[in-house]
Chain A
């Protein structure tokens, strides 16, 4: 396209000035040189195995920047969100971030939900010194990549530990089994911290079995777990497998409650799991039936923008991450990536929908964990636990 335009212009014998103008215009398109726009990049799993994660966080971020632009933009400029689909694949996530930084000239990057994909992409953002804010990656290693990587959510030690405390103290569980997705950093992290906290409290972990993302047959592992007679099974996986696991567990006559993390937060858990997920508990970032003004106001706005859809936690975090980034750019007073980074690191008591966010020294957001229960095919708020 580019070459053809230029050569055609030469053939027509147009003055060098026009050619120069044309080339400049093309440069502006490719290089992000437009001075009236702040470009923010986003990489998300819009398709693939965990597509609802990316679609939800994307909708949240889009809504956030639309609000920012309606209120006059940032530093007198409009914010433009460049979105890249990574197809739920870590290698694609890395490519997407490289493109956002090098071709689109993004001043900051939002993404990803999944820890394994954030981990694949974060080193590129760090190397280029472009701040990256993950809405929902809870694995501790993500922000350890470097001082340009932030997150708008709590981390696995907090989430896994809180679920262990909830199981031990509120459900009275003393014997727990764990079924972990060994191909998934998030799942392994959550399982490790659950086991650690549960044992510290005095509980016993009677079985630790594994599966791999994409598996559909879990009866062998579940049969083995059934033999150890646990009082609850912790399954810190993603929603596609969780529903199948629940179904096959019930089929084998396992009736004890299943426990999980925020990876369960998708309508697909209920679609695949149906009755089998009733009675299960999982930890999350927010509850849609939380009566607070801030949450209900957000739900109303989100429904108006996205055809009546109720936001899940990933949508809330996508929104919070984008608003937090916008707030940092405003406070930085500049689009210089380093100044944005410093402003992000100084975030204190930012009023997010998922709770007040303060960045700690490791660039992790500190805020409460919500426990939810599935009953009659619906998700209910149980309680919020401080970390």
Chain B
């Protein structure tokens, strides 16, 4: 039984990462009806920018909360700009094109970053600098929780709360919801569509960057192809929770992390990647709107 709880702790921490990536998917889908397949690569760029900024600023020599926050800040700012730039260059020109065109473009952007990443950063994996010493901070019997796992959960929850606040309580959040609800009408009411969409991309990309930093804390290996699998799985997590729904993305991410850990722990690690797609198929057959998705009322 204790092993089960340990697996649960492992799974929830792992799922926090998926949740952060899934939020970006779901937000972009909410406002644009576009599945941004390049989102996994933004996550990779987040981890990479954390790696390089930590090296150039010498953050790894002073591990601690300040260094972690600095790396998080830099990576999130960088990826927010990157996300907005991707939207401007790749998706905005296709705003009036059939829906398939931006989708294929998204796959193209994803491939571009994977291969450009190998060219610029090199294909060999890099060791992410240690921004925080690993320590076990909580213990219940045999079940241990490390500070890294708490940091992952803490940062992920804090960002989720902040995001919900932005979407529900601010002017730009209201604009985002308006665009999600009906883009045409929102435009007629004077909502600056392009700026709102760019802001959505920036916000989602910043969250992906945070996930990139968090993953390189607990699993310190970064490489240009690291975004591929987590990107796909976070997409499944977003669908599981109900694509377009923010609480759904968080729930879907955490459930996905738990499912993967339990499968690897009790069946075989060989099925770890398969479980995500089994979940995708089952949810599409049984409840296509996802766990928390309703018929298109509360989106973004």
Contact = CB atoms under 8 A, between A and B. Distances in A.
Interface of A: 47-49, 51-52, 87-88, 182, 209-212, 215-217, 219-221, 223-224, 226-227, 240, 243-244, 247-248, 251-253, 268, 271-272, 274
A88 to B, nearest CB: 7
A223 B127 contact: no
Nearest to A55: B124
Contact of B136 (A219, A220, A224, A253): A253
Given A48-B124, A88-B123, A223-B7, A216 B268 contact: no
A184 B138 CA distance: 36
B92 to A, nearest CB: 34
A211 B136 contact: no
Given A221-B264, A247-B134, A251-B136, A48 B123 contact: yes
A48 B263 CA distance: 29
B141 to A, nearest CB: 12
Majority secondary structure of chain A interface residues (helix, strand, loop or mixed): helix
B14 interface: yes
Given A182-B270, A226-B3, A251-B146, A221 B123 contact: no
A210 B269 contact: yes
A273 to B, nearest CB: 10
B110 to A, nearest CB: 17
Contacts of A227: 3
A47 B124 contact: yes
B35 to A, nearest CB: 24
B269 to A, nearest CB: 5
Contact of A216 (B10, B134, B219, B261): B219
A226 B6 CA distance: 11
A299 B272 CA distance: 44
A207 to B, nearest CB: 12
Interface of B: 3, 6-7, 10-11, 14, 118, 122-125, 127, 130, 134, 136, 144, 146, 148, 215, 219-221, 223, 226, 260-266, 268-270, 272-273
A220 B125 contact: no
B123 A244 contact: no
B125 A87 contact: no
Contact of B144 (A47, A210, A252, A274): A252
Contacts of B144: 251-253
A304 to B, nearest CB: 26
Contacts of A217: 14, 219, 260-261
A244 B270 contact: no
B221 A244 contact: yes
Nearest to B226: A216
Contacts of B272: 212, 215, 220
B264 A220 contact: yes
B10 A219 contact: yes
27 contacts: A47-B118, A48-B124, A49-B124, A49-B125, A49-B223, A87-B123, A88-B123, A182-B269, A209-B269, A210-B270, A219-B10, A219-B14, A219-B261, A220-B7, A220-B261, A220-B269, A221-B265, A223-B6, A224-B265, A240-B221, A247-B134, A251-B134, A251-B136, A251-B144, A253-B144, A271-B127, A272-B220
Instruction: Please indicate which of the listed interface residues B7, B123, B266 has the most CB atoms of chain A within 10 Å of its own CB.
Output: B123
A221 B269 contact: yes
A267 to B, nearest CB: 10
A248 B217 CA distance: 12
Contacts of A220: 7, 10-11, 260-265, 269, 272
B262 A223 contact: no
Contacts of B11: 220
Contacts of A224: 3, 265-266
B127 to A, nearest CB: 5
Given A244-B219, A244-B220, A47 B122 contact: yes
Contact of B6 (A215, A252, A268, A271): A252
A336 B223 CA distance: 43
Nearest to A239: B125
Contacts of A244: 219-221
Given A227-B3, A252-B144, A240 B125 contact: yes
Nearest to A212: B269
List the 8 closest A-B pairs by CB distance, nearest first.
A220-B264, A216-B219, A220-B265, A51-B124, A219-B10, A220-B261, A47-B123, A48-B123
B127 A210 contact: no
Contacts of B215: 216
Given A244-B219, A252-B144, 20 more contacts: A51-B124, A87-B123, A210-B269, A211-B269, A212-B272, A217-B219, A219-B10, A220-B260, A220-B263, A220-B269, A223-B3, A226-B6, A240-B221, A244-B221, A247-B220, A251-B134, A251-B136, A252-B6, A253-B136, A268-B127
Contact of B123 (A51, A182, A253): A51
Nearest to A183: B270
Instruction: Please indicate which of the listed interface residues A87, A217, A221, A243 has the most CB atoms of chain B within 10 Å of its own CB.
Output: A217
Instruction: Please indicate which of the listed interface residues A48, A219, A240, A274 has the most CB atoms of chain B within 10 Å of its own CB.
Output: A219
B268 A210 contact: yes
A349 to B, nearest CB: 37
Contacts of A240: 125, 221
Contacts of A253: 136, 144
B220 A223 contact: no
Contacts of A215: 269, 272
Contacts of A274: 130
A269 to B, nearest CB: 11
Nearest to B265: A220
B119 to A, nearest CB: 10
